[in-house]
Every structure is written in structure tokens, then in C-alpha cells.
Structure 1
Amino acid sequence: MVQYLIPIAVFVVIFALRARRMSQMRPLKLERLWVVPAIYLAIVVANFVAKPPTPTAWIASAVALLVGAALGWQRGRMMQIHVDPDTHALNQKGSPWAILFLMAIVLVKMVVQGEGRALGFDVMLVTDAALAFALGMFATTRIEMYLRAKRLLDAARATR
């Protein structure tokens, strides 16, 4: 029981801190949106090079990447983006739904990995798929945010 309670407690504390930070308005720099997906891509590539996935894991990872991309697009749509009408400065604020959405994804991953061992799942396959899922989600979240912020910024500049 303790093996489940400690990670859950850590998870709750981290997400409580993250939720507080995400609920505040923060500057949005379009030119920096590529950084997190690039770092995560490097992590995924390093993981796949260090221990190449099996053919089944490649298929699962490709499916997970596509599912992550679809859910990432929805997550990106939940982010609030504001343009200052005078300065045209962009700001973002995380949606409470986006935070809950991310929490649900992490909890599902924890359950699958924890229960998966007991049920005989290939833990490396689950890990590879989770990495691909997260890559798809992080990348498309930022792509959607970039496209929407660019449209909002162009519209604000056109009205001036």
C-alpha cells in the first residue's frame, strides 16, 4: 500500500504547485514555444536509441504519438491566450481543465504501469508508448498555441 501512497502524495503536491503557477497570467513568447518539444524529443530519441523498441512497441508508440497529438491539440485549445491591445504583448493562462486533463493522463499512466506489471504487461512497451504519447501531446499543444496566438496577434495589429 505504501508503494502506491508515496507516489500519489508526491504527484498531488507537484500538481498543486503546478496548478497554482498555471492559474497565473504569464508572458507567452512565440519564439520559445519550440523549446519544450525539442528537449522532450531529445529525451525520447535518447531513450529509443539506448534501448530500441520491439516492433510491437514501435506500433504502440506510433499510435500513442497520434493519440497524444490529438489530445495535445485539445489541451492547447484549453489554454487561455490574451493580447494586450496597446502593447500587443502576449500572455497565457493555463485552464483549470488543462490541469485536470494533465493529471488524468499521468494517473492513467501510473495505473497502467503499476497494474501492468501484475497483469504481465511489457513495461518497456508501456514506457515507450508513454514517452511517444507525451511527445505528441507537448508538441501539438504548443503548435496549437502558436497558431492561435499568431492569429490573435495579427488581428490585434490589424485593428490598430
Structure 2
Amino acid sequence: MQPRPDTLLTYAITAGVILLVMALRWRRTGRAVPLKLERLWILPAILTLAVVATFATMPPHGLGWLFCLIAAGLGAALGWQRGRMMHIAVDPETHQLSQTSSPAALVLILAIVVLRQAARAGGAAWLHLDALALSDMLLALAFGLVVAQRVEMYLRARRLLRAAIPR
């Protein structure tokens, strides 16, 4: 069975947007940007609210909960690794923190996006999951990824900052 032309157009537009976003992000890779420890909690808090609101209004059912927990755990493992890939530095004079994203961290996100697109194209049919269960799992994966990445970065930055400040 041949894919419909409008489906191919949808995939082409999606691929184009992803490539554009990745190209823009790639240009910024390697540049140091200020890291504010007191702001690392904001994105995980927003994502937590989104996950709670989503699961409160339309909770997963049956094995969907198990798959969401597995996805969150996988996301946490990937997020921790992505956080470790971020270079964090402390200015010795001002004690200001900066972070530099790694090209490997960007490739990791690109791989997740590609996997998501593959699952969307029918790769999750063998799991007998509907689109809603798949979106719940992807939300859980994103939640685990963002929270673990920020926690790892916070702990490491705080440790580096304490080591840089003379006592």
C-alpha cells in the first residue's frame, strides 16, 4: 500500500522543521551561557503540572501505567546522561556558573525525536497501544528526561561551586 501524498507532505514538513530547529541548536552548541541554579527548577515544575493535568483528566489505563513508568525511567536515565554531557564551568574570580551544551547531547535529543516519529508511523502497533497511550508514554519520557537532566546539572553545579569558593 502506497502512502498518501498528504501523508508524505506531512512527514516532509515535520522533517524540515526538525532539521531547521536542530541546525539552529547546533550553531549554538559549544557556546557558554550563564547557568542560574535558582532557575533550574522552573521547567521541571511546568512539565510536572502538565503531566499531572494530563494524567488527571485522561489517566492511562491498564498496562498504560506500567508503560508510562518504564518510559519515565528510561527518560530519567537518558536525562541524567544528557545532563552529564553538559559542560559546567565556574569562573574562578566571579564564581559565576556557565554551561556549554555538548554536540552529543543534541544528537541524543535528535535520536529521541527520530524514535518518536518512527513510533508515530506505526512502530507501536506491536505493543497494542493506541495513540493516546503512546502520547502518555512520550510525555512520561519527556518528564523523566527533563527532571533528571536538571537534577544532575544542579547537583554537579552546586558541587563545582562549593569546590571553587575558598573556605
Whole-angstrom distance in 2 between the partners of 1:42 and 1:18: 26
- When the two chains are superposed, the root-mean-square deviation of aligned CA atoms in Å is 1.6
Whole-angstrom distance in 2 between the partners of 1:52 and 1:118: 20
Matched, 1:27 2:34: yes
The percent of aligned pairs where both chains have the same amino acid is 47
Whole-angstrom distance in 2 between the partners of 1:117 and 1:147: 36
Measured at CA, do residues 26 and 100 of structure 1 come closer, stay the same or move farther in structure 2, by a change above 3 Å? same
The Cα shift of 1:65 comes to 0.6
Whole-angstrom distance in 2 between the partners of 1:20 and 1:42: 31
The residue number in structure 2 matching 1:137 is 145
TM-score (norm 1): 0.93
The Cα shift of 1:17 comes to 1.5
Q: Paired residues, what number?
A: 159
The Cα shift of 1:117 comes to 7.1
Q: Does the 8 Å CA contact 1:116/1:123 hold for their aligned counterparts?
A: no
Equivalent position amino acid for 1:27 in 2: P
Whole-angstrom distance in 2 between the partners of 1:34 and 1:21: 23
Whole-angstrom distance in 2 between the partners of 1:124 and 1:23: 37
The residue number in structure 2 matching 1:44 is 51
Whole-angstrom distance in 1 between the partners of 2:115 and 2:146: 17
Q: Does the 8 Å CA contact 1:25/1:93 hold for their aligned counterparts?
A: yes
Matched, 1:99 2:127: no
Whole-angstrom distance in 2 between the partners of 1:38 and 1:148: 20
What secondary structure is seen at the aligned counterpart in 2 of 1:59?
A: helix
The residue number in structure 1 matching 2:5 is none
The Cα shift of 1:21 comes to 3.0
Gaps of 5+ in 2: 1-7
The Cα shift of 1:113 comes to 1.4
TM-score (norm 2): 0.89
Equivalent position amino acid for 2:18 in 1: F
Kindly report structure 1 stretches of 4+ aligned residues shifted beyond 3 Å: 116-121
The Cα shift of 1:19 comes to 2.5
Superposed CA offset, 1:104-136 (max 9, x none): 011101110122477664111111011001100
Equivalent of 2:160, from 152, 156, 159?
Answer: 152
